[in-house]
Every structure is written in structure tokens, then in C-alpha cells.
Amino acid sequence: MSLPSDAFRLVAARPHDPLRTYHPRRSSLGPDREEDLRVHFPFLGFSVHDDTGDGPLDTTSMFGRSAPLVLEIGSGMGETTAVMAAADPDRDYLAVEAHLPGVASLLGLVARGGLTNVRVGHGDALDLVRRALPTESLDAVHVFFPDPWPKARHHKRRLVQPSHVALLRSRLVVGGVLHCATDWVDYADAMLEALSADPFLENTSTGFLDRPPHRPVTKFEQRGLDLGHEVRDLVFRRVR
């Protein structure tokens, strides 16, 4: 597997590429994360653009087994993914993050935690879903605290919108779940509307959920809570 390019080609969208759902940004890695990237990426990581090609992703070879698969979209610095995967050893986790410091951070957590059920992708998760994940291949999709794109003119860039919901749902097995969380009230309402409109999905609650105990509080989430933000979870299940 090739190391991810620091040129950030993946965020330089061409005119006919789909709109990106995240803010492109550059951040320094620092020596520890540079070392984690250099040492662990070849074994625990993959590049969405350079390593996946145009065919289905061979997750059986990637993990060395065939197990239910969870896709984590935007794993951030990786603390939540590492905790959830450690508590869920019978499922494999594909954690995809566009920003290199987060990739490096999670690689370090996975390696030092001895986790064998996590692989870390660098790139756009929706690109991976479109090109390399077959229909009905995922047991769950996690979308925790995606970029809220708060300005109305940017709402078209939000990750949770009807076309993306349909794409992600198509990759779920029947019975698989799409779990979203946000601390932006208007985005939560838009998420609920988009998810409820999909005829193949069913809300596991009557509306929003309190944070399920298996989803740990992230540092980002805690900052929002400290500011008085209301966190809302949604868990929808594919029913047909």
C-alpha cells in the first residue's frame, strides 16, 4: 500500500467531481504522527484513491477473515473508532478520514491497542462507497458529527442528504443500521427528514435518541456539550 500523498490531491475537486462534504485543510503532523504514518500505514492503512482501484474492496484479504463490516465515515482523530472496535471484536471496521493527522492518530491507537479489526482509509468515504463497496456489503454505517456546513448556501455539501442516504443504504445488508449524530439542531432535523424519506429505512425510535451507551463521547462532542449544544443521535435500520 502506498503512503498517502501530502499533496492532498483528493481534496482538489475537478469541475465534474461530486461536491466534497468536508472542508479541505492542511495540518502539520508532528514527529510522532509522522512516525505512526510511516510505520503503520503500509500494514493498517489504505489510500482511497491509490489502493482501491475500480473493483470491489477485498476486505477478506485486508482483515484476514470474513466478518460483518462497519464503515466509519469521518473518524476524526480516531478515539471513538478505537473504543468501539475494541468493544466489538466480532465485526471489522473500515474507518475513512480525509485529513491526514486523523489518519495518523487512529493508526497509532490501533497499533498500540493491538486492534486487529480496524483498517484506516485516507480519502473521501463517499468515493470509496461509490467505487469499491458492493451493494449489501455493510453491517453498519456510522456518521458521527459530520461537518455541519451551517450556511444555507452550503447545505448542498452536507453528508446526510437524500442522495447520499440512498447510496449508503444500498450498501447496507437488510437489518443493517445507519447511525448518525450531530450537535447542530437544524442539521439534526434535516438528517431526520432525509432518513425518514427513504422507503427502505425504518427509524428504531420515534424520533431522536439519547446517545447509545456503545457510542462514547468524543472530545469534539464534549466541547459542544460544554457550549450548551444539544447532541442528537439517529439510528435507522434497513428493512428491505
Residue 73, C-alpha cell as written in the block: 465515515
Q: What is the pLDDT of residue 17?
A: 54
Q: CB neighbours of 222 closer than 8 A, spacing ≥ 6? A: none
- Helix, strand or coil for residue 181? strand
- Cβ contact 69:92 at 8 Å: yes
Q: Give me 96's grid cell.
A: 475513512
Report percent pLDDT > 70 for the chain.
89
Mean pLDDT of 194-203: 98
Domains and CATH numbers, the chain: 30-238 (3.40.50.150)
Q: How confident is the model at residue 19 (pLDDT cuts 50, 70, 90)?
A: low
For 20-34, b where at least 16 C-beta lie within 10 A, e where not — what string? bbbeeeeeebeeebe
Highest-scoring range by mean pLDDT, 100-114, 140-154, 209-223: 100-114
Rounded Cα gap, residues 187 and 232, in angstroms: 10
Average pLDDT for the chain: 90
- Give tens-digit pLDDT for 29-75: 899 999 999 999 999 999 998 777 678 999 999 999 999 999 999 99
* Catalytically annotated residues: 147
Q: Which pLDDT score is estimated for 8? A: 38
- Angstrom distance (rounded) from CA 27 to CA 41: 18
pLDDT on residue 14: 39
Q: Does 169 score more than 60 pLDDT?
A: yes
The model's pLDDT over 82-138, given as tens digits with 9 standing for 90+, comes to 999 999 999 999 999 999 999 999 999 999 999 999 999 999 999 999 999 999 999
Please give the Cα distance from 6 to 26 (Å, whole number).
Answer: 9
